[in-house]
Structures are given as C-alpha cells and as structure tokens.
Amino acid sequence: MKLLLVEDSHRLQRSLGAGLRNSGYVLDQAYDGEQAWAFLCGSEYDIVVLDLMIPKIDGLTLLSKLRRGGIQAQVIILSARDTTEDRIKGLDAGADDYLVKPFSFDELLSRLRALSRRPISAQASLNSEIQILGVVIDMKDRTVMYDQQQIILTPSEYNIVALLAQRRGQIHTHDQLIDRLYDSSSDVTRNAIEAHVSALRRKLKAAGAPALVENRRGFGYFIAAKTAGESAANQAE
C-alpha cells in the first residue's frame, strides 16, 4: 500500500517514516499542507496519515479540500486534540479514523490494517489471501506459494504480482506501476520494471506455476480477470 504521511514534526516524521517503511509500506512524506496537496494531485495514495496542526494549509482544510476534489484515499487523523468535539469535526470533514497523540506505533499499524480492509470507491477491499490457478498470494505475510512451496521473491517482484492480483483485469503501464509501488524520491526506470516482471515470471515458471503476469504490448501489464484454467474448473464444479 502507498501512504502519504503529513506531519510537521521532523522527529516524528523520522520515527514514523522508518517504522512504516520497515513494515512494508511505500511512503511519501509532507511537512505542510501545500506540499501534501502537491503530492495528492500528482500521485494516487491508499491512505493519508494526517496531522491537524500543520503549516500553510491546516489539516482540516486540507481534508475538506481533498474530499471536494474527489480524492478517494482513506484518511487517518493524528492529533493531540482529544475532545469529543475535535473527533466529530475530523470525522465529519471526511476522515475515516482518528488517533490521539501520543499513541503506540503498533496501534497505528493496526488502524492502517483495518482501513486497508475497507472497500473504497470501485476498489474491492483487500483480502488477506488471493488464489489464482493454484498460486497463493498472502497479503498479510507478503508471501507467494505454489504447490505448498514458497516462491522467494524480492520486494519489488512481490509488490508487482500483489498489485496486479488485487486489480485483476486492469492494465497498468510502466509509469502507473512506478507511481503505485515506489515513493516519489525513487529513481525507477521502465527497464527496471521490465526486469522485475521478467524475474517474477522466471521464478514462477521454475516453481511449476503459471506465469500469471501478461503484457499487452504498448499498453502495460495485467493478470487476466478470468483464465481458461479457472473457467474449466468452474464448469467441472
């Protein structure tokens, strides 16, 4: 999942940023409301972690702005404001959750996992496990299994197959994959994406598993919404 952390405290940005990246999240970091709005206009995020007391554009104004702009990212507010009235204002402005400072990092991770399970717009909620032609993609443990054997993938290879499995039938260009799977400071090329997909296919093939990831030349990569193998299995049932 790709997150935007909006927080003006450099100390908290360092600690939360390191913890979130170590927990497997792709993360961009903004220190004020204007910088956050620029990120939101330029990239797609699953969740925004938003402090209310930020300079230039305050958190509630930014939240109202992104909702009016049709941005569907889910929002969890982090704030030292702990009254019932403060919580109501945040939720009424469009937040999906509200966490009072100080908080434990484990609780933040739990709240993020809970938000990830909620469906937003046309995107289905994330299942903890996806199975395609015998390939099992475990979203919680970040593993890929076939015939009860784990296929060892790099983080980039796993992220590609997991994203395409979540969005079966949708074609993703190289640029869309780069935007979804890497933070804005990463220098990732189209050739790198092609190399990751090629390595992913080789590892699946070596394990005896289907290739899964297809390429429509000139458009991008996808996993078919329904495969011939799955259709035959459904007819047999």
Q: Which residue has the tokens 């899964």?
A: 212
Half-sphere exposure of residue 193, counting CA atoms within 13 Å on the CB side? 22
| Domain spans of the chain, in order of start | 2-116, 129-223
- In whole angstroms, give the CA distance from residue 93 to residue 89: 6
Task: For the chain, list residues with pLDDT below 70.
Answer: 118-127, 227-237
Stated pTM of the model:
0.71
Residue with tokens 């297809």: 214
Residue with tokens 């600690």: 15
Nearest to 65 by CA among 141, 128, 6, 125: 6
Q: So what's the pLDDT on residue 120?
A: 43
What confidence score (pLDDT) does residue 228 get?
Answer: 55
- To the question of domain 2-116 being in CATH 1.10.10.10, the answer is no
In the prediction, which pLDDT does 121 show? 38
CATH of region 129-223: 1.10.10.10
Structure tokens that stand for 4 in this block = 């935007």
Q: Mind listing the pLDDT tens digit for each residue in 100-126?
A: 999 999 999 999 988 887 654 333 344
